[in-house]
A and B are shown apart, each in its own frame.
Chain A
Amino acid sequence: MQDFTQALTTALQMIVTLDDGLTRIVGLSLRVSLTAVLAATLIGLPLGAAVAALRFPGRRGLSVLLNTLMGLPPVVVGLVVFLLLSRSGPFGVLGLLFTPTAMIVAQTVLIVPIVASLARQTVEDLLVEYDDLLRVTGAGPFHTLTTLLSEARWSLLTTVLAGFGRASAEVGAVMIVGGNIEHATRVMTTAIALETSKGDLPTALGLGMVLMTLSLLVNFAASLLREAAKR
């Protein structure tokens, strides 16, 4: 029990004093995960809606593939992106390994399937209502997708939040492609892993609490946004 009180004290201390190291780590975590979520949303939502609403060959296969990829282990994504970005890999000349960009790429790969799969389900359910209307008005593919995505936008917010949750919580991928370099690529989850390996369990748990608080704030903001827009 003492561990938890100590962790709570550490967490509060870090938040109240706005610990410089902590601000950097939190800032980078947010920057990496939010950018990844933005990229995954731009790719995943249209992709999911297309699989749900458009008829094209290989559609069912793509849908199964996306569902399967939701279970991608972050370590595997990390490893693949690492091999691609390594100086000895095909994209080595870009020199992106151990940079925040590499971490954004890895997290985007990780969450595109989640965003796309959940969006496909949402849009598919909505299609039952809109199918006739869209057919009658003779809407083209682009118009169909924009209408459906626009109508489903508040349900899709949850989809995007699921993506954010996965991105901000994973450690395997960013550890490999970021390298957990202090002041450069250290984020919340890799910092927690590091403190655990130093045996400083209260600090590790304290950081975990800060991460959860951050996640709570993001979700709270999203829920406020939804409320405000519905009114």
Chain B
Amino acid sequence: MLRRSFISRAALGCAAAVALFGLGLGATARAEERFITVASTTSTEDSGLFKALLPTFTAKTGIAVRVVAKGTGQAIDLAKRGDADVLFVHHKPSEDKFVAEGFAAERKPVMYNDFVIVGPAKDPAGVKGSTDVADALGKIAAAKAPFVSRGDDSGTHKAELSLWKTANLDPAKAEGGWYKAIGQGMGPTLNTAAALEGYALADRGTWLNFKNRGGLAVLVEGDKRLFNQYGVMLVSPAKFPHVKAKDGQSFVDWLVSADGQKAIADYQIDGQSLFFPNANEPGV
């Protein structure tokens, strides 16, 4: 009997401790209860853009922004399930489809960055300095040099596939194992490329913020086909009544406002801008 009461007391004690701990943390969480959930891409998170941008917005509006960073494909899927208030991604055809299917009333262009082809500094395919991305990809394929692909249905992956198309190549039919689709985010793809001394398509933001570069360097850049447009949309409150339409719309409006656009332009690493605001450019 004595033992049992000891056990129950110990268990009670543990339970109380855990509960108190939980309550304490719960209280801190409640203080910032006003928040929106944004489904976005790994490039905006890994590049450090959100870290620079969001505190400004939160200070101004009192709305905290919770970012779930996934590949563009997965982010769109989250939004389609109603698990996010705002969608902020970079693949215009998918975004237009999202709007056409009624998941959002409108899409607004926000900014662009560009993709670069990174690869080993010794450059076995000889693409360094090229400004013709199709030609460069052709050379990499011809040399059967290792190329690491996201392979995760992200915006970057989709962009990569359409770039292969412009080079009239189909990496799905690649032979000899030089084309490696690893099904992971931008960072892991760069980690793999660094370890394999391979080539990869990367968004410049993630690349500039990436620390484990090994022997990799930017080899191909500046081709117009490498531009990467970002769009933002409020998930339709008509479709999902629980969507925080007012606060979500504030975020969308702020991103394309003069203030938001300036904050985007101001985000730099080593004096280089990572994203270029273009909310007012027609047709992007």
Contact = CB atoms under 8 A, between A and B. Distances in A.
A135 interface: no
A30 interface: yes
Given A31-B25, A88-B82, A181 B68 contact: yes
B206 to A, nearest CB: 8
B4 interface: yes
A31 B242 contact: no
A207 B18 CA distance: 23
A172 interface: no
A27 B7 contact: no
Contacts, number: 86
A179 interface: yes
Contact of A199 (B7, B14, B83, B191): B191
Interface residues of A, number: 32
Nearest to A95: B242
A197 B46 contact: yes
Nearest to B50: A182
A201 B191 CA distance: 10
A87 B81 contact: yes
B187 A98 contact: no
A67 B190 CA distance: 39
Given A34-B21, A150-B7, A196 B242 contact: no
A92 B82 contact: yes
Interface string B174-209: 000000000011111011001000000000000001
A31 B22 contact: yes
B268 interface: no
Nearest to B66: A181
Given A98-B68, A197-B186, A198-B209, A87 B83 contact: yes
Contacts of B60: none
Given A28-B25, A31-B18, A150-B7, 7 more contacts: A38-B14, A100-B25, A181-B37, A181-B66, A183-B64, A184-B35, A198-B46
20 contacts: A31-B18, A31-B21, A31-B25, A35-B22, A38-B15, A87-B81, A88-B81, A95-B242, A100-B29, A181-B37, A181-B68, A183-B32, A183-B66, A197-B184, A197-B191, A198-B209, A198-B211, A199-B187, A199-B194, A199-B211
Interface of A: 27-28, 30-31, 34-35, 38, 86-89, 92, 95, 97-98, 100, 146, 150, 153, 179-184, 196-201, 229
Identify the 4 closest CB pairs spanning chains A and B, nearest first: A197-B187, A199-B212, A87-B82, A179-B68
